[in-house]
């Protein structure tokens, strides 16, 4: 395949004459892409080995993938699925553009015009254009589970009804092949045939395509980037595409790898790139939180969001995929509130569907340790405690939020202070279960610091009162919780009767703000 004459496009051939000569591919001896024999040999060897391996694993799939390059609408999916989708998207765009050119050319100034509308591509991958598109194939199916590779079903025709055109239609096919050349890597020179009404035979096109692909793989090996390795495996193809676009746009420099895979999210580290707008600065290091969920996990969490009046109107109309996005949206809003109150927390960079990019807490790819994983001196421990007490009060009063999952797992120790993270489930205090969540947070914090030897640490009931400003006097947990639930109920009744929430639960007189 190294003998394919791609050199027709060599710049010195000049425009025009090369295409008018008998062989549109020019003289083979001007080959501009050097490719050693050893290279080709090893390429083939690698491919053979890979095929052998795949053959053993998925005999039926390989049989299809090995077929001829052009089989109707079929594209080569034996390589990375994402790459294929990117290529397909690009192809579709170019193909449509080409179609428009053809249409214009044929119609000219004629009063009667024909439309190529039926030939236009409608592809499932580019989801940016629609607000309503399906992000996850089907939530009954876990999108994070690795799939056996599948191949696109072959279709030997395009168009509908009497407009049907089979793949064998020589003119259409030839033009399509010419248009398809635009999908080759940018550095692969295809000459200026694309703008012309040039019809490439399948044979010529396939040879070119094969060469273009092997060139592409060759250069990919040379410039292999990390975002194509680690990060890809943990997310589904659509998320991968989103991440890929972030890198492609330059917003992120590289995605280096996965920091955490939890039940509900996967977090990646990335180096920030350049922002498209000048007023925004991308932090040098970013954390990318990808919200994932199966129907099960979403069920476990829906009590947080379902009763959150901020999202209430929208909840009922939504499908699970949209609710996943709402988690991301909620985390973004909550982080922004915290940022505005000056609470140490990640800074939001951008939200794209279910993917939230924020500043990275940590340095040089090493995330700051969770409070549960650091051993602090007695002094730091005490400092951390008072800081958290303060932050809980700020969160409640200034941000009108209850963390709702506060514990040593969601607090990071960085730069000599505590940073709060993981606020997608945070709710406003008037949430029907808001005070219960707050009480649980208080219990976690009290227990952690009491065990950690901070003698000053309030017990959970004292902490609850100190944060909320409420004055619940019960001296045992059962009564205390009963009072909390009574307050929540009172608020709900108020909502029923007056159609709105009480602004806060705050009793008269501001409770003391604890300072160290």
**Chain positions contacting ligand ADP, by CB under 6 A:** 259-260, 262, 264-265, 267, 287, 289, 346, 358, 360-362, 367, 370, 410, 421-422
Which of Mn ion, ligand ADP, none does 298 bind, CB closer than 5 to 8 A by kind?
A: none
Binding-residue total with Mn ion (CB under 5 A): 2
Cβ of residue 347: shortest distance to ligand ADP, in angstroms?
Answer: 9
Which of ligand ADP, Mn ion, none lies near 259, with the C-beta cut-off 5 to 8 A by kind? ligand ADP
Question: What's the CA gap between 206 and 75, in Å, rounded?
Answer: 12
Tokens 């703008």, located at residue:
195
Q: Which does 435 bind (CB under 5 to 8 A by kind): ligand ADP, Mn ion, none?
A: none
Q: Identify the three-state secondary structure at position 419.
A: strand
CA pair distance 65, 417, nearest whole angstrom: 55
- Binding site partner of 360, from Mn ion, ligand ADP, none, Cβ cut-off 5-8 A by kind: ligand ADP
Cα separation, 209 vs 177, in Å, equals 10
The CA distance from 246 to 237, in Å, is 14
**DSSP per position, 152-190:** PPPB-EES-GGG-EETT-HHHHHHHHHHHGGGS-TTS--
Closest separation between CB of residue 426 and Mn ion, Å? Answer: 12
Nearer to ligand ADP, 175 or 337 (CB): 337
Q: How many CB atoms lie within 10 A of CB 254?
A: 16
Closest to 428 measured CA to CA, from 309, 344, 301, 339:
309
* Stretch of residues binding Mn ion (CB under 5 A), selected from 35-43, 192-200, 392-400, 407-415: 407-415
Please, which of residues 415-474 interact with Mn ion by CB under 5 A?
Answer: 422
**Between residues 367 and 432, which has the closer beta carbon with respect to ligand ADP?**
367
Question: Does residue 410 touch Mn ion according to CB under 5 A?
Answer: yes
26 binds, among ligand ADP, Mn ion, none (CB under 5 to 8 A by kind): none
Q: 3-class DSSP state for residue 506?
A: coil
Using CB distances below 5 to 8 A depending on partner kind, what does residue 453 bind out of ligand ADP, Mn ion, none? none
Q: Which stretch binds Mn ion (CB under 5 A): 311-319, 326-334, 408-416, 490-498?
A: 408-416
Give the C-alpha separation, 359 to 345, whole Å: 9
Which one of ligand ADP, Mn ion, none is in contact with 267 (Cβ closer than 5 to 8 A by kind)? ligand ADP
Stated length of the chain: 516
Rounded distance, CA 95 to CA 310, Å? 44
Looking at the Cβ atoms of 26 and 346, the one nearer to ligand ADP is 346
Structure tokens at 68: 């001829």
Sign of the dihedral through C-alpha 70, 74, 79, 80: positive
- Among the listed residues 236, 308, 405, 422, the single catalytic one is 405
Which one, 267 or 484, has the nearer CB to Mn ion? 267
Q: How far apart are CA 287 and CA 259, in angstroms?
A: 8
Nearer to Mn ion, 189 or 410 (CB): 410
| Pick 212 or 404: Cβ nearer Mn ion | 404
Smallest gap from Cβ 220 to Mn ion, in A, equals 35
Neighbour-count burial of 324, counting CB atoms closer than 10 A to its CB (0-12 exposed, 13-18 middle, 19+ buried): buried
Residue nearest ligand ADP, Cβ-based: 262
Q: Is 405 a catalytic residue?
A: yes
Question: Which of residues 81 and 259 has its CB atom nearest to ligand ADP in the complex?
Answer: 259
Identify what 426 binds: Mn ion, ligand ADP, none; CB under 5 to 8 Å per kind: none
Judged by CB under 5 A, the stretch of 304-312, 375-383, 406-414, 458-466 that binds Mn ion is 406-414
Q: CB of residue 422 vs Mn ion: minimum separation in angstroms? A: 4
Q: What is the 3-state secondary structure (H, E, C) of 305-354?
A: HHCCHHHHHHHCCCCHHHHHHHHHHHHHHHHHHHHHHCCCCCCEEEEECC
Phi/psi of residue 431, each to 5°?
-55, 140
Nearest to Mn ion of 406, 487 (CB atom)? 406
CA distances from 507 to 104, 223, 376, 502 (A): 73, 63, 36, 12
Q: Residue 510 contacts by C-beta under 8 Å, 6 or more apart in sequence?
A: 469
Minimum CB–partner distance for residue 266 and ligand ADP (Å): 8
Q: Which residue is nearest to Mn ion (CB)?
A: 422
What whole-number distance in Å separates Cα of residue 372 and Cα of residue 356? 25
Least Å from the CB of residue 250 to Mn ion: 30
Distance separating alpha carbons of residues 425 and 308, to the nearest angstrom = 10
CB of 27 to ligand ADP, least distance (A): 58
CB of 226 to Mn ion, least distance (A): 25
Gyration radius of the chain over CA positions: 30
Q: Which residues are catalytic?
A: 405
Per CB under 5 A, residues contacting Mn ion are 410, 422
């Amino acid at each position: 395949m190294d003998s394919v004459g791609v050199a027709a496009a060599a710049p010195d051939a000049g425009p025009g004459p090369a295409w008018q000569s008998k062989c549109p591919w020019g003289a083979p001896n001007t080959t501009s892409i050097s490719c050693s024999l050893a290279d080709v040999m090893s390429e083939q060897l690698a491919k053979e080995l890979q095929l052998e391996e795949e053959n053993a694993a998925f005999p039926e799939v390989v049989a299809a993938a090995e077929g001829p390059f052009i089989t109707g609408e079929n594209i080569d999916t034996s390589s990375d699925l994402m790459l294929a989708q990117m290529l397909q998207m690009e192809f579709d765009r170019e193909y449509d553009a080409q179609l428009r050119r053809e249409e214009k050319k044929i119609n000219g100034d004629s009063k009667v015009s024909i439309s190529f509308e039926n030939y236009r591509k409608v592809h499932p991958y580019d989801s940016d254009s629609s607000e309503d598109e399906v992000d996850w194939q089907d939530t009954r199916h876990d999108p994070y589970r690795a799939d056996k590779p599948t191949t696109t079903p072959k279709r030997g025709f395009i168009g509908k009804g009497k407009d049907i055109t089979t793949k064998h239609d020589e003119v259409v096919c030839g033009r399509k092949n010419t248009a398809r050349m635009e999908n080759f890597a940018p550095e692969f020179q295809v000459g200026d045939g694309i703008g012309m009404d040039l019809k490439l035979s399948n044979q010529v096109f396939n040879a070119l395509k094969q060469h273009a692909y092997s060139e592409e793989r060759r250069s990919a090996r040379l410039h292999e980037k990390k975002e194509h390795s680690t990060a890809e495996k943990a997310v589904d193809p659509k998320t991968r595409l989103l991440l890929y676009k972030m890198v492609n746009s330059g917003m992120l420099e590289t995605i280096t790898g996965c920091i955490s895979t939890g039940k509900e999210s996967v977090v990646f580290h990335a180096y920030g790139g350049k922002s498209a707008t000048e007023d925004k600065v991308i932090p040098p290091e970013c954390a990318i939180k990808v919200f994932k969920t199966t129907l099960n996990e979403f069920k476990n969490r829906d009590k947080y969001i379902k009763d959150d009046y901020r999202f209430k109107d929208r909840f009922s109309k939504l499908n699970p995929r949209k609710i996943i996005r709402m988690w991301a949206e909620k985390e973004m809003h909550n982080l922004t509130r915290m940022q505005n109150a000056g609470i140490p927390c990640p800074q939001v960079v951008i939200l794209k569907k279910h993917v939230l990019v924020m500043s990275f807490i940590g340095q040089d790819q090493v995330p700051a340790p969770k409070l549960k994983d650091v051993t602090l001196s007695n002094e730091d421990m005490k400092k951390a405690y008072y800081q958290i007490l303060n932050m809980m009060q700020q969160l409640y009063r200034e941000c009108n939020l209850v963390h709702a999952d506060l514990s040593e797992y969601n607090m990071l120790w960085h730069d000599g202070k505590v940073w709060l993270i993981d606020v997608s489930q945070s709710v406003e205090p008037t949430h029907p279960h808001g005070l219960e969540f707050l009480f649980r947070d208080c219990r976690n914090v009290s227990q952690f610091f009491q065990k950690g030897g901070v003698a000053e640490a309030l017990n959970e009931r004292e902490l609850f009162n100190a944060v909320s400003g409420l004055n619940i006097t019960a001296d045992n947990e059962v009564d205390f919780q009963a009072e909390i639930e009574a307050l929540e109920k009172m608020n709900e009744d108020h909502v029923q009767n007056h159609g709105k929430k009480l602004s806060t639960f705050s009793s008269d007189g501001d409770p003391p703000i604890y300072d160290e």
